[in-house]
Structure 1
Amino acid sequence: MKLTTAPSAVEPARDFPELLPHGRPTVRLHPRRGTPGPHDSHIGGPLLWPAAEAWPECAEHRDINGRAYTLPLVAVAQLTAADFPELRFPEGTDLVQLLWCPEWHEQPHPAGWGQACRLHWRRAGTVADPLTEQPDPEEHWDHGPDMIPRACVLHPERITDYPSDEELPPALAGRFRAWLAERDLPDDLTTVPGHKLGGFMNWCTTDRPDALECGTCRAPLELFLQFDTAEWWPGSWGPDGEPHRFRPLEDREREPADGTDDPSREPVGMTVGRGGHGGLFVCAADPRHPASFFTQ
């Protein structure tokens, strides 16, 4: 299935060309509920996990008596080099797997509170005996479903992402804010929402951290994978009540624009943060260093 970001009556990089040098490539993942297999790229599906390798756990839990206990991490995403050659896979790897604890924990520098994340980089061909029965989140996490994704297949679309004003040089940021205000346009016009690889994150709830750097080596952090409560938001904005510019063209005729469970708008079924979005950031020097997760 092909999903396409629609052209808009207002294109910031076209109508405000000073943004052009600041664009970055991003991949809209366009997740849709399905039944991915363990060799596929996906969100929320089974991982290609070696049977001989212990499934990672989170030990940061206490019962009502204060006693520690562990729970298995939740499989969140799996991406292959064949599907996503733009990812910087460490030498000798062609598969990355993300697991996390769906409860909030205090995280080391610089994330503060967030998900306890684990990224595993491996070579798929070395997994000769994969684990077939993997932990079922519903058996362990009946009290914490918000950050447990539903199984989704991916429909990648390569586009260009542009930063919000917080990511721009101060003088340019001021001119861009004035340009938006003159046209009565929202400040989320540029950064691509939804689930995506790379690009920029919109820091709409908190300010962007001053020191967005790796806690291991102090190299800059870069957005690796963004998760979002919704792929786009219902309602209209812009001239003549234009539909939301990030709603795929292919969805506009066959899917409802709103509803309590719209599988095209909220395919992954997670409530990120307070109903916003979150970004998994990795070290620009070595993505194997511990990742940081920020929510908005």
Structure 2
Amino acid sequence: MTRTTPPRPYDLLDLFPGLAGYGRPAVRLHPRRGEPAAEDGSIGGPLLWPAEEPWPVCGLEHEDCADEPFAYTLAWRAYLEDRDRREREGDLDWDVERRRADELEARFDSEEDGEGDATAPPLIPLAQLYYRDVPGLPWPERYDLLQLLWCPRDHPDAETPYNPVFQVRWRSSRSVGAVLDDPPRPLVCNGDYVPSPCVLHPEVVTEYPPNEDLPGALADAIGEWTERIGDPAAYDCAISAAPGWKAVGYGGIWGVVDPYPVECDCGERQLPLFTAASGEFDGGTGTWRPVEDAEAGREAADPVKVVIGRGYTLQLYYCPASEDHPNRTAMF
């Protein structure tokens, strides 16, 4: 099923024609719960991973205060989904549910959680993007598949501390050969960083730079306009950047830290590659809710079940000079 972003509530190009030159395509991925295969684009689904290629691990230090057994995270997520189904069907007894939940927690409390394992933990699949579905990904003359993995734990010494850490793989799917069917899983994780498997419904939209990146006169004019209409968030929340999981484009609304240019060590300004979000939209970005989900329940707002910080966004950048240059991250 396609997903369609409603028209923007304000026609800023009519008010500010100069803004048109700063438009940039972004791809809203619109992940929705499903059972993707390795041949599909996905969030949290299986990867088209060569059987002979070692599975990546994380060698960084981890903060363990929010860690829990990875198997418990999956089991608890499955229990909640089954409980929601029973609730929709009118077959729910809360006394029984409390007992089921207590039994599940007790079972994992009694099991070894692997916290004493000193080996580097394997990463988990985060996203698989086929170029046929997601236009605008870099180096299409060499690659047709982008794979993203991350370590689902907090990393106090990472560039964006106390967040998961990405690893990137650029591939030509034709060269993969035999596919790894059963990749290793970590013993423990922060459950907020484990994505539920989702299929994608990509949609290209136009984004515009954050106000602070626009030329002074244009930025001032847009700022004066938001004051005049009494909606100071009109540009940031309804025009410039789409919320949710997406690829390329401009990114997010700076708020956690002051804006800064994301630059590579080579001096090149890095560009947004992928955005992991705490939900698809919220009360402040409801105008981006797809037309097809107008009557949907809460599952449409948060299908992936990933939470970044206190509901933030984690963005991955790439250097346009070379895919071999280190990727950087920022949290909004």
Aligned partner of 1:161 in structure 2 is 207
Aligned partner of 1:31 in structure 2 is 31
Give the direction of change, closer, same or farther, for the CA distance of 1:121–1:270 in structure 2 (3 Å limit): same
Residues 1:78 and 2:114 are matched in the alignment: no
Aligned partner of 2:237 in structure 1 is 188
Aligned partner of 2:222 in structure 1 is 176
- Cα distance, 1:11 vs. partner? 3.1
Quick one: distance in 1 between partners of 2:9 and 2:237? 15
- Cα distance, 1:91 vs. partner? 4.5
Instruction: Output the amino acid matched with 2:246.
Output: K
RMSD: 2.4
Q: Is the 8 A contact 1:61 1:68 kept in 2?
A: no
Give the direction of change, closer, same or farther, for the CA distance of 1:70–1:145 in structure 2 (3 Å limit): same
Aligned partner of 1:43 in structure 2 is 43
Give the direction of change, closer, same or farther, for the CA distance of 1:121–1:8 in structure 2 (3 Å limit): closer
Quick one: distance in 1 between partners of 2:280 and 2:214? 24
Pick from 250, 269, 290 the counterpart of residue 248 of structure 1. 290
Quick one: distance in 2 between partners of 1:284 and 1:35? 33
TM-score normalized by the length of structure 2:
0.76
Pick from 301, 308, 314 the counterpart of residue 265 of structure 1. 301
5+ long unaligned stretches in structure 1: 237-243, 257-261
After alignment, is 162-171 or 61-70 more displaced? 61-70
Instruction: Output the amino acid matched with 1:81.
Output: Y
Aligned partner of 1:197 in structure 2 is 247
Aligned partner of 1:292 in structure 2 is 328
- Which of the two has greater helix per residue? 2
Quick one: distance in 2 between partners of 1:63 and 1:251? 37
For residue 69 of structure 1, give the secondary structure of its aligned residue in structure 2. Answer: coil
- Cα distance, 1:45 vs. partner? 0.3
Give the direction of change, closer, same or farther, for the CA distance of 1:155–1:266 in structure 2 (3 Å limit): same
Q: Is the 8 A contact 1:77 1:97 kept in 2?
A: yes
For residue 151 of structure 2, give the secondary structure of its aligned residue in structure 1. Answer: strand
Alignment of 1:1-296 (within 5 A): 1-61=1-61, 68-89=118-139, 91-105=141-155, 106-107=157-158, 114-136=163-185, 140-141=187-188, 143-185=189-231, 186=233, 187-190=236-239, 191-201=241-251, 202-209=253-260, 211-215=261-265, 217-234=266-283, 244-253=286-295, 255-256=296-297, 262-296=298-332
Q: Is the 8 A contact 1:60 1:68 kept in 2?
A: no
Quick one: distance in 1 between partners of 2:316 and 2:178? 29
1:171-206: CA deviation from partner (whole Å, max 9, x where unpaired): 322221111111122142221111111111221222
Q: Is the 8 A contact 1:96 1:121 kept in 2?
A: yes
Aligned partner of 2:89 in structure 1 is none
Instruction: Output the amino acid matched with 1:173.
Output: A
Instruction: Output the amino acid matched with 1:95.
Output: L
For residue 27 of structure 2, give the secondary structure of its aligned residue in structure 1. Answer: strand
Aligned partner of 1:259 in structure 2 is none
- Cα distance, 1:52 vs. partner? 1.2
Aligned partner of 1:239 in structure 2 is none
Quick one: distance in 2 between partners of 1:2 and 1:31? 11
| Higher gyration radius (CA) | 2
- Which of the two has greater strand per residue? 1
Moved over 6 A (4+): 62-67
5+ long unaligned stretches in structure 2: 65-114
User: Matched residues, percent identical?
Assistant: 38
- Give the paired residue count: 276
Q: Is the 8 A contact 1:118 1:290 kept in 2?
A: no
Q: Is the 8 A contact 2:316 2:329 kept in 1?
A: yes
- Cα distance, 1:8 vs. partner? 3.5
Instruction: Output the amino acid matched with 2:200.
Output: L
- Cα distance, 1:226 vs. partner? 1.1
Q: Is the 8 A contact 2:43 2:198 kept in 1?
A: yes
Instruction: Output the amino acid matched with 1:287.
Output: E
TM-score normalized by the length of structure 1:
0.85
1:146-183: CA deviation from partner (whole Å, max 9, x where unpaired): 12211111101111111221221233222211111111
